[in-house]
Chain A
Amino acid sequence: MCKSMINEIKKSKFVPILIIGTAPLFIVITIALSILYGTKDIDITTIWLAITQFDSGNVDHNIIMQSRLPRVFAALLVGAFLAISGAIMQGMTRNYLASPSIMGVTDGSAFVITICMIFYPDMSNFNLIIFSMVGSAVGAGIVFGFGSFMRNGLSPVRLAIIGTVIGTFLSSISAALATYFQISQNISFWYNAKIHKVDPDILLLAIPFGLVGLLLALYIAKSITILSLGEDISISLGQRTKWVKFISILIVICLTGTAVALVGKIGFVGLIIPHITRFIVGVDYRFVIPCSAIIGGVFLALCDVGSRFINFPFETPVGVVTSLIGVPFFLYLIRTRGGDSRA
Chain B
Amino acid sequence: MVSNIIRAQKLTTGYEKFTVFSDLNTTIKAGQITTIIGPNGCGKSTLLKTIGRILKQQSGEVFLQEQDMKLISTKEIAKQLALLSQNPEAPLQLKVEELISYGRFPHRKNVGTLSSKDIEVIEWAMDITKTTAFRDREIAQLSGGQRQKVWLAMALAQETSILLLDEPTTYLDLAHQLEVLKIVERLNKEHHCTVIMVLHDINHAARFSHEIIAMKEGEIVTVGSPKEILAKDVLKQVFSIDARIMIDPENGAPVCFGYDTFLEQE
CB within 8 Å of B: which residues of A?
Answer: 1-2, 5-6, 8-9, 12, 94, 222, 225-226, 228-233, 235-240, 278, 282-284, 286, 341-343
Contacts and interface: CB of A to CB of B under 8 A. Distances in A.
B89 interface: yes
Interface stretch (B33-41, B58-66, B92-100, B237-245): B92-100
B192 interface: no
Given A238-B106, A239-B105, A284 B98 contact: yes
A2 B97 CA distance: 12
Interface string B76-118: 1111001111001111111101110011011000010110100
B74 A342 contact: no
Contact of B93 (A230, A232, A283): A283
Contact of A8 (B78, B89, B97): B97
Contacts, number: 92
B189 interface: no
B131 interface: no
Nearest to B155: A236
7 contacts: A2-B116, A12-B95, A230-B90, A236-B84, A236-B155, A282-B98, A342-B92
Contact of B111 (A1, A5, A222, A229): A222
Interface of B: 49, 52-54, 73-79, 82-85, 88-95, 97-99, 102-103, 105-106, 111, 113-114, 116, 119, 122-123, 132, 135-136, 154-155, 158
A111 to B, nearest CB: 32
Given A237-B78, A341-B89, 9 more contacts: A8-B135, A9-B113, A230-B89, A238-B77, A238-B105, A283-B94, A284-B98, A286-B111, A342-B91
A236 B97 CA distance: 19
Contacts of A5: 97, 119, 122-123, 135
A85 to B, nearest CB: 19
Contacts of A341: 89
Contact of B123 (A2, A230, A239, A278): A2
A237 B85 contact: no
A230 B73 CA distance: 20
A55 to B, nearest CB: 49
B79 A238 contact: yes
Closest 4 CB pairs of A and B: A238-B78, A238-B75, A232-B85, A238-B106
Contact of A235 (B74, B103, B136): B74
Nearest to A234: B105
Contacts of A283: 91, 93-94
A341 to B, nearest CB: 7
Contacts of B79: 238
A255 B106 CA distance: 30
